[in-house]
Amino acid sequence: LSESGLPQLVQPMIWDYTADLDVEGKVHLIEKYRRCGFSKVWFASAFKGATGVNQSLTLIGHHLKNNLQWLEVASNSPADVLEGIALTGWQRYDHFSALCELLPVAIPSLAVCLQALENGSYSEKIKEKVEKLLGMSNLETDTFMR
């Protein structure tokens, strides 16, 4: 790869939407990319649409955990390697599938994930900020919102 010149033309994006991300494995993968000459990488997480083809409601806690683990990968990697995090929101699994997790039901998840990424963590204070921004009295992350 390094001899091809490709690392000077593109930046790899590492995609993983699982709540139990292999942090150590991702750090090793970044090291491999660096040895091949890639100076920057992107991460791809999701705030919705990555937990099941027929999922209709968004489980915020799943996506929050995923994003927090990407932050852990970033903190265990060289400081200059991360170019950014693409926070995706999938609408369907393929062009032949029905729509899943429509945007309106996922807005609380988007707000939680964005605040976690912006602040580098998630806390009761951040939860209260999201509740205030969205006009909600009780944001639930470990159960489906009612």
The pLDDT value given to residue 146: 54
* Strand partners of residue 86: 44
User: Can you tell me which residue has the tokens 């963590």?
Assistant: 121
Distance, CA of 83 to chain centre: 14
On whether residue 15 sits in a domain, the answer given is: yes
Edge-first strand listing for the sheet containing 13-15: 13-15, 41-48, 82-89
Tokens coding 135: 């006009």
In a domain, 139, yes or no: no
Q: What is the pLDDT of residues 9-22, one digit of tens each?
A: 999 999 999 999 99
Flag whether pLDDT at 4 surpasses 60.
yes
Q: What is the mean pLDDT of residues 74-86?
A: 96
Q: 37 lies in a domain?
A: yes
Give the number of domains in the chain: 1
Say whether pLDDT at 69 is over 60. yes
Q: How far apart are CA 107 and CA 92, in angstroms?
A: 17
| Contacts of residue 64, Cβ cutoff 8 Å, sequence gap at least 6 | 109, 112, 113, 116, 122, 141
The token pair at 120 is 């580098």
Does residue 144 belong to any structural domain of this protein?
no
Q: Give the distance, in angstroms, between the CA of residue 22 and the centroid of all CA atoms in the same chain.
A: 14
Which CATH number covers residue 31?
Answer: 3.20.20.80
**Domain membership of residue 125 as a residue range:** 2-134
Tokens of 139: 């944001």
| Statement: residue 134 has pLDDT above 70 | yes
CA distance 84 to 99: 27
Among 11-20, 37-46, 96-105, the range scoring the smallest mean pLDDT is: 96-105
Asked if residue 52 lies in contact with residue 9, where contact means CB atoms within 8 angstroms, the answer is: no
Residues 108-132 pLDDT 10s: 999 999 999 999 999 999 999 999 9
Residue 56 covered by a domain = yes
* pTM exceeds cut of 0.75: yes
